[in-house]
Structure 1
Amino acid sequence: MQQHTRQHGPSYGDRPPERHRLVRKLQGIADVTSEERQALLDLPMTVRSYARGEDLVREGDVPNECCLILEGFTFRYKLLPDGRRQIMAFHTPGDIPDLQSLHIGVMDHSIGAMMPTQAAFIPHKSMRDLTHAYPGLLHAFWRDTLIDGAISREWLIGVGRRDAHERIAHLICEMLRRLKAVDLAPNDTFKIPATQADVADALGLSNVHVNRVLQDFRREGLITWTNYTVSILDWERLQKRALFDATYLHQAHEAAA
């Protein structure tokens, strides 16, 4: 796998705007002071680039750093011995999908790129130093981990109890809310580089079933989904179709611009 790496340390002057997505996300779920904001922006990061289909983190890895998604889109997944795949989460810019590696020594799943993706790798030592110096950020990261667990519970409910239309509508509603929180869903439109096979593997459906549901939604005037771009045409009706309640995302704070 070919990667292009560049190092950013605390002395790096103009912080790339992608770094601010982590700040914005945390401000959307917790109180973050200006000093804590600057400390987040000053974290040392090694940026690596990945092509679609490449793994950022693999099952069995013993990592010593966490990855922050800067640009692109990733997914958490696990393969069964016969090659069947279960996607357990989608991760967007501003997410640290392997934050748990700070406390769990061996990765029990993989994280792959769904499109050309840039991720910033932060040494575990730097994360521990940060949360020791700023206990408020420790609580913010803990809250983020709890919300990640809440999202997993909603996905489990979807696979176990929602019908196909509810599952797909719920996923679209969730992604809109999450991407809006990091300024990536203007005018209720966002990019999600998921194929119908990806959606099927995430929601426990067949490719044919996913295709039929998306066609139904287009005919009903709820959404368009073309070339990885989703546009919400009727948010209120889509929420009702999904039985969607955003409480589990716990976006109680208004993120700063």
Structure 2
Amino acid sequence: MPSTPKPPLQRLPLRLKTIAADQDIVSEGDTPAECCLLVGGFACRYNVTAEGKRQIQSFHMSGDIPDLQTLHLEVMDHNLGTLIPCKLAFIQHDDLRALMRNHPRLGDLFWRDTLIDAAVFRQWVVNVGRRQAPARMAHLLCELLVRLRAVELVEDHAFTLPVTQGDLADAMGLSNVHVNRVSQELRAKGLIALHGKTLKVLDWEGLKRTGEFDPTYLHLAKKEAL
């Protein structure tokens, strides 16, 4: 009996690599010739100011291709780095371009993915720029829960929080002390519980209200958006 052909993306030549935590996958100023598919782990986009302060602009998890823009933008204008050890599959730009020429619907999906990235960026700008610290953290935790649930990494509203307090601070524009204080406040209100690296949302509706969270910007199917 003939075997089922692999989907076109899986037939591409892939260069697999495991990268340790807190390492750059690609750095600002690089001119990469390949994109990376995050097979496992957790990564982030970030820039660093002249004073050495890091601003995280997005988190990325299994299934994401966080540097698709390098197909059209020659020079990296930010860094893409690991937060925990990550397994990556690197795909040459030429192979991706050939794939999109031969399978236009896949090209449409990649374009949609970059549009959703832009939608996430808009929400992060609002979150960092206009929400108070408790709402800022609540919104970020809601986003993580929904996105991790979509890749089946959530069980009973609980998930491994694969980031440090410092990472959260850099994502929300807060100090480590402020992040700790806000986390305690959310726990005191019965919205979340944190045991080691496991975060459980105890009051989903309450956390959404606190963070003014509406998952529409993630453009997931209704069953994935809680």
Q: Would the TM-score normalized by the shorter structure come out above 0.5? A: yes
1:53 and 2:22 are equivalent in the alignment? yes
Report the counterpart of residue 198 of structure 1 in structure 2. 167
Letter of the structure 1 residue corresponding to residue 29 of structure 2: G
Q: Whole-Å Cα distance in 2 between the matches of residues 52 and 227 of structure 1?
A: 18
> Within 5 Å, which residues of 2 pair with 1:1-257?
38-252=7-221
**Is the partner of 1:175 in helix, strand or coil?**
helix
**Is the partner of 1:187 in helix, strand or coil?**
coil
Q: Cα deviation per residue 1:86-140 (whole Å; 9 max; x = unaligned)?
A: 1111111111111100001011111111111111101111111111111111111
Q: Number of aligned pairs? A: 222
Unaligned runs of 5+ in 2: none
Letter of the structure 1 residue corresponding to residue 97 of structure 2: R
Q: Cα deviation per residue 1:146-187 (whole Å; 9 max; x = unaligned)?
A: 000000000000111111011100000001111111111122
TM-score (normalizing by structure 2): 0.93
Report the counterpart of residue 28 of structure 1 in structure 2. none
TM-score (normalizing by structure 1): 0.82
Unaligned runs of 5+ in 1: 1-13, 15-33
Letter of the structure 2 residue corresponding to residue 230 of structure 1: L
Residue identity over aligned pairs, in percent, reads: 50
Letter of the structure 2 residue corresponding to residue 93 of structure 1: S
Greater Cα shift, 180-189 or 134-143: 180-189
Q: Whole-Å Cα distance in 1 between the matches of residues 72 and 93 of structure 2?
A: 10
Q: Cα deviation per residue 1:16-48 (whole Å; 9 max; x = unaligned)?
A: xxxxxxxxxxxxxxxxxx98x811222221111
Greater relative contact order (Cα < 8 A, sep 6+): 1
Q: Whole-Å Cα distance in 2 between the matches of residues 122 and 116 of structure 1?
A: 19
Give the deviation of 1:253 after TM superposition. Answer: 7.0
Give the deviation of 1:229 after TM superposition. Answer: 2.0
Label 1:240 to 1:253 Cα distance change in 2 as closer, same or farther (>3 A).
closer
